[in-house]
Amino acid sequence: MSAATARIRTAALGFAAAGTAAGLATRLFGGRPSQCDSGSFSKSEFRAFRVSSVRQVNHDTKILRCALPSEQHVMGMTVSSLVMVKGGAGGEEGKPPPARPYTPITTDDQRGYFELMVKGYPSGVVSKHLCSLKAGDMVEVKGPFEKLPYKANMKKRIGMVAGGSGITPMLQVLKEALRNPLDETHFTLIFGNQTPSDILLRQEIQELAATSQGRLRVVFIVDKNPSGDSGVQHVGYLTADVAKAELPPPSPDTLVYVCGPPGMMKAVSGAKGKPPAQGDLQGILKDLGYTQDMVFKF
């Protein structure tokens, strides 16, 4: 088996095991200020927020709506940013409870609440805890922590390769960019999943594209399409040929975001380094001629 074929097969496995992939940046929060109490969140300690509602997205994923201190509060985070979310009341053998990174899918100026999309895994301590929460329960959050700040027109073209719940940072950027009439950036999103039923927030993504005035093009790719879903553009592996055909070509005016499970990341862009390091660019994108400064791994 060639190295390129091995990477492609790994990409397919990565989509099937999709999870939230995000690293913790250490730079200070620099987003727009809250219109109310700027102390709602903290980077140094977890703070509790009440779950106001829980929405089932599909068979293994939920959206938790978490109330801010008042209806006038906003999160005020930099796009793009993540938060650390604590799972449960205590860790193993007296250790602190584990925490994992999640990317809020609401806009930075959403009043009164923020939302987290959580994909549950049988062995995921934090995700199992979060998926068990009900309205009225509390969730402990620390952050926000800034990743790569998005600025209008910072690039002419942005490609996005997401697997499973790796869609969350892409949504955060798209919602910010597409509502700004002064932003002329064009986006291409390749969203990989195991089957059409696994495509998270499909309707919302399609609505973003439909109202983007041509600035967002969405490409769905699935490992299997048992229902013959006509809205899926590619069935099978994410190959170099598919990436070349769909993504904007390598250029100083191009940036490609990648977010997904480790297998997908390794195949598409190379493994992510220990935050804040990005790790060397490898995989399909390197083979296609993209350079380190043209790719950002969430």
Class of domain 47-146: mainly beta
pLDDT, tens only, 213-245: 999 999 999 999 999 999 999 999 899 999 999
Q: Tell me the pLDDT of the chain averaged across its residues.
A: 88
Residue 141, marked binder: no
Residue 62, marked binder: no
Q: How far apart are CA 262 and CA 13, in angstroms?
A: 10
Split at pLDDT 50, 70, 90, the class of 95 is confident
pLDDT score for 137: 98
pLDDT score for 15: 55
Count of CB atoms situated within 10 Å of the CB of 76: 21
Q: Judge whether 242 and 234 are in contact, CB under 8 Å.
A: yes
**What residues does each domain of the chain span?**
3-19+148-297, 47-146
Same fold, 3-19+148-297 and 47-146: no
Residue 119, marked binder: yes
**Which fold is adopted by the domain 3-19+148-297?**
Rossmann fold (3.40.50)
Residue 10, marked binder: no
0.75 exceeded by pTM? yes
pLDDT, tens only, 153-209: 999 999 999 999 999 999 999 999 999 999 999 999 999 999 999 999 999 999 999
Residue 121, marked binder: no
**The pLDDT of residue 24 is above 80:** no
Residue 47, marked binder: no
pLDDT score for 237: 85
Q: By three-state DSSP, how is residue 111 classified?
A: strand
